[in-house]
A = this chain, B = another copy of it.
């Protein structure tokens, strides 16, 4: 790959931040070091539920080097939170989970700040803690938030006549799935530097997926106008949903900065990050599905109890996704969902890559496998007979301009030699081989509250013919900056390294939603192409005026403006920029373009075509289960991603492999352990995310279904890959040892216990 050449669609381009990242010179928020900067540390609640009786900060405040000791009493009245503004900057009156932020100390260094934190004496009066949904929903349970009956949201969705349809079903299966939470496990914990300037404005450098949402959050929390806050995205070492709208590190740092006149740095340690972040939403899913003799799903009934923890955050949105998103990948008519989010005194839950998709996908795909088996059908065939196709409108109103369901499935089946899997079975011994496949669907964008899913790009072409792109969509590592640079370079016919994509900054970037819902490739990408074409038009006009030719006689080719049918007389972009500026009425070349997709918001019945495109993926896995140790070994993992068009296969492979790794972790290894609401394994030694050593080579296939709404046919890439992994793995484990897991992770202990029960015949073969 040559960065110095104008790129093509499909050219492998290293991420534009690659060099500064691998050379250690990228500036993450924690790397920002102003002289005179102060450091903050947070005191967290040790109780899942307690009344704060008294806080004695006197000893902390007297520690030399301490500049401020702040508690809830010092915080503004403002509350933040999406959808409910229920979060104060620091706890006031009550704590509702272990880890809730009670006080913050600002001091000359982190060590002093931590020492002062340790000197704060908080008198708590413990309150009854509700650490599971059952308790929270029990009659007479105390309310964690008054007037809520411990429910933060409830939805009922009914399409068709579900009961009648079940009557027609040839086979019906019913089961309960318990899917756990998961830590996002980004390399860079939450980190912020905030500075209240002499002009009364607050500048905040932080690790975020959305600078504008961060700005709103701080404005809400600090009770000040958004315009008085400037949020600049520092290099961000992964977000995976946790850095969308729910992180409070930036809010606390910003608050602390308003109390001292020096910059304040607040960087979570890994433990603090485990305690302070909003991990994935655990759900209990009761699912009943009926199929006809051809395997066609005729009815589906689902009940979901999702736990939002102590504060609602995005959990209600995630629950809604679980409640209906997976329905859209099948040709369904009769579905019924009742889903709710329940407050508990566990830590608040939130978004993780896949956004509720993987929870329900695990249930639905596991269910389909059972139904196929009951029908004596091949699993691949039951998928084929239910798969949504290009041109379809789903039961919830999604319309598919492209759909790679079948193609993704075919790709993985071929790669794992699905048809001949029986030949690959092991004979005898402790190791059992099994195969699993599973597909998924995900949005590329999502028109949500506010009826807007647009993206705006500002493009400036400098006097040297090179370009600068400003967008508010954040690159948290997923490659959006590289996508912008590539599309811009393709349009202008110049090398990628002639393009700078500015870090999002609420002062200089156009208003934006941010990097969520795999929305940036279609929405941002289209805006980028529009902006580039607009800039080209302006330059062509200026060139036509200068060359005294009709604009129709000019063409833009390989980064130059040529007069058609003339050999000489072409202008470089640089020269054209000069023509654009230096004339009567001239100006620098700076254009802005917006793409807002032709989507609709879900209506009150949760119906509507919310995204301009929908990505599919599928997994094919081959496992070996060691029946002696219980270890599930992944012998082959193939993921297929329907990205519409592979603009840059390098990024897609990276993202698909990452998503697959996260899915493998959730399926097999990661196990958050709580005791009475206290996380017991908040570190990477005990919380066993898969390491490079424990991962197989992940084969990443691409399906190019050519999304008509997408830039050059592209749509959101790779997020879909996280969704079906657990189902595929669980299916392969079942295929190997005949035990169906309905809860995760499938640890060696769980395998051994299940095998034990199976052998003893004391339990069902469903765990």
Q: Which residues of B contact A594 (CB under 8 A)?
A: 585-587
- Residues of chain B within 8 A (CB-CB) of A454 are 581, 585-587
Asked if A145 is at the interface of the complex by the 8 Å CB criterion, the answer is no
For residues 448 through 466 of chain A, which have their beta carbon under 8 Å from a beta carbon of chain B? 450-452, 454, 456, 458, 460, 462-464, 466
Give the chain B neighbours of A676 by CB distance below 8 A. Answer: none
Q: Is the CB of B19 within 8 A of A511?
A: no
Query: Is A30 an interface residue when CB atoms closer than 8 A count as contact?
Result: no
Chain B residue contacts of A586, Cβ below 8 A:
451-452, 454, 594, 596
Least CB distance, A334 to chain B, in whole angstroms: 32
Q: Are B587 and A462 in contact (CB under 8 A)?
A: no
C-beta contact mask, A74-88 vs B, less than 8 Å → 1, else 0?
A: 000000000000000
In the bound complex, how far is the Cα of B261 from the Cα of A20, in angstroms?
12
Chain A contacts with B in 571-592, Cβ cutoff 8 A:
581-590, 592
Residue of A460, A511, A581 ringed by the most chain B CB atoms within 10 A: A511
Contacts of A219 in B (CB 8 A): 464
CA distance A505 to B500 in the complex (A): 15
Evaluate contact between A510 and B584: CB separation under 8 angstroms: no
Determine how close the nearest CB of chain B comes to the CB of A536; give it in whole angstroms. 17
For residue A447, which residue of chain B has the nearest CB?
B584
Please tell me if A140 contacts chain B, counting CB pairs below 8 Å: no
Determine the chain B residues whose CB is within 8 A of the CB of A470 once the complex forms.
507-508
Stretch touching chain B among A21-29, A337-345, A386-394, A743-751: A21-29
Binds B, one of A31-39, A316-324, A418-426, A616-624: A31-39
Interface string of A468-500 (1 = CB under 8 A from B): 101000000000000000000000000000101
Q: Is the CB of B581 within 8 A of A452?
A: yes
Stretch at the interface among A59-67, A198-206, A694-702: A198-206
CB distance from A144 to the nearest CB of B (A): 31
Tell me if A467 is interfacial: C-beta within 8 Å of chain B: yes
Give the distance to chain B from A653, nearest Cβ to Cβ, in Å.
Answer: 23
Taking A35-B35, A198-B20 as contacts, is the C-beta distance between A585 and B581 under 8 angstroms? no
The complex places the Cα of A310 from the Cα of B500 at a distance, in Å, of 38
**Chain B positions within 8 Å of A197 at CB level:** 20, 25, 27
Residues of B contacting A198 in the complex (Cβ-Cβ under 8 angstroms) = 19-21, 23-27
A466 pairs with B227, CB closer than 8 A: yes
A502 within 8 A of B: yes
Q: B464 contacts A500, CB within 8 Å?
A: no
State whether A452 touches B592 (Cβ < 8 A): no
Docked Cα-Cα span, A219 to B468, in Å, equals: 16
0/1 string, A203-240, CB within 8 A of B gives 1: 00000000000001001000001111000000000000
Q: Is A627 an interface residue (CB 8 A)?
A: no
Knowing A198-B26, A200-B19, A464-B227, say if A450 contacts B596 (CB, 8 Å): no
Chain A's interface size range is 35 or more
Instruction: Determine how close the nearest CB of chain B comes to the CB of A659; give it in whole angstroms.
Output: 26
Q: A451's contact among B16, B460, B582, by CB below 8 Å, is which?
A: B582
A17: CB under 8 A from chain B? yes
Identify which of B34, B450, B467, B590 contacts A33 (C-beta below 8 A): B34
Task: Determine the distance from Cα of A25 to Cα of B197 in the docked complex, in whole angstroms.
Answer: 7
Determine if B596 and A463 form an interchain contact, defined as CB atoms under 8 angstroms apart.
no
Q: Are the CB atoms of A582 and B452 closer together than 8 Å?
A: yes
Q: How far is the CB of A396 from chain B (nearest CB, A)?
A: 20
B226, B458, B589: which contacts A463 (Cβ < 8 A)?
Answer: B226
A585-641 interface with B by 8 A CB criterion: 585-590, 592, 594, 596, 598
State how many angstroms separate the Cβ of A718 from the closest Cβ of chain B.
24
A590 x B592 contact (CB < 8 A): yes
Given contacts A25-B198, A33-B34, A261-B25, contact A511 B581 (CB under 8 A): yes
Interchain CA distance A584-B454 in the complex, whole Å: 8
A587 touches B511 (CB 8 A): yes
Given contacts A464-B219, A466-B225, A467-B227, contact A500 B585 (CB under 8 A): no
The listed residue (B35, B201, B588, B598) touching A34 by CB distance below 8 A is: B35
In the bound complex, CA of A586 to CA of B596 (Å)? 7
CB of A62, distance to nearest CB on chain B (Å): 27
A24 to B197, CA, bound (A): 11
CA distance A454 to B508 in the complex (A): 21
Contacts of A462 in B (CB 8 A): 225-227
The answer to whether A587 and B510 have CB atoms under 8 Å apart is yes
A225 CA / B463 CA spacing, docked (Å): 9
Residues of B within 8 A of A507 (CB): 460, 468, 470, 500, 502, 508
Q: How far is the CB of A164 from chain B (nearest CB, A)?
A: 38
Chain B residues within 8 Å of A216, by CB? 463
Complex Cα distance, B42 from A762, in Å, reads 85
Contact of A584 among B201, B225, B451, B460 (CB under 8 A): B451
Is A500 in contact with B587, judged by CB distance below 8 angstroms?
A: no
A590 touches B510 (CB 8 A): yes
Across-interface contacts of A19 in B (CB, < 8 A): 198-200
A261-B25, A464-B219, A466-B227 given; A199·B581 CB < 8 A: no
Determine the distance from Cα of A656 to Cα of B83 in the docked complex, in whole angstroms.
55
The chain B residue with its CB closest to the CB of A594 is B587
Q: Within the assembled complex, what's the spacing in Å between the Cα atoms of A138 and B27?
A: 58
Q: What chain B residues lie within 8 Å of A21 (beta carbons)?
A: 198
A197 vs B468: C-alpha distance in the bound complex, in angstroms? 16
In the complex formed, the residue of B with least CB distance to A505 is B508
How far does the alpha carbon of A37 sit from the alpha carbon of B32 in the complex, in Å? Answer: 12
The residue in chain B whose Cβ has the minimal distance to the Cβ of A36 is B33
CA distance A26 to B584 in the complex (A): 37
Please indicate the chain B residues that have their CB under 8 angstroms from the CB of A227 in the complex. 462, 464, 466-468, 498, 500
Q: How far is the CA of A505 from the CA of B585 in the complex (A)?
A: 23
Q: List 26 A-B contacts (CB under 8 A).
A: A19-B198, A19-B199, A19-B200, A26-B198, A35-B37, A219-B464, A225-B466, A225-B498, A226-B466, A227-B466, A227-B467, A227-B498, A228-B466, A450-B581, A451-B582, A452-B581, A454-B586, A454-B587, A456-B590, A460-B510, A460-B511, A510-B587, A511-B590, A584-B598, A585-B596, A592-B592
Q: Which 6 A-B pairs have the closest CB atoms?
A: A511-B588, A25-B198, A20-B198, A33-B35, A508-B508, A227-B466
Further 8 A-B residue pairs, CB within 8 A, beyond A19-B198, A452-B583, A454-B586: A226-B462, A226-B464, A450-B582, A452-B581, A458-B590, A508-B508, A585-B594, A586-B596
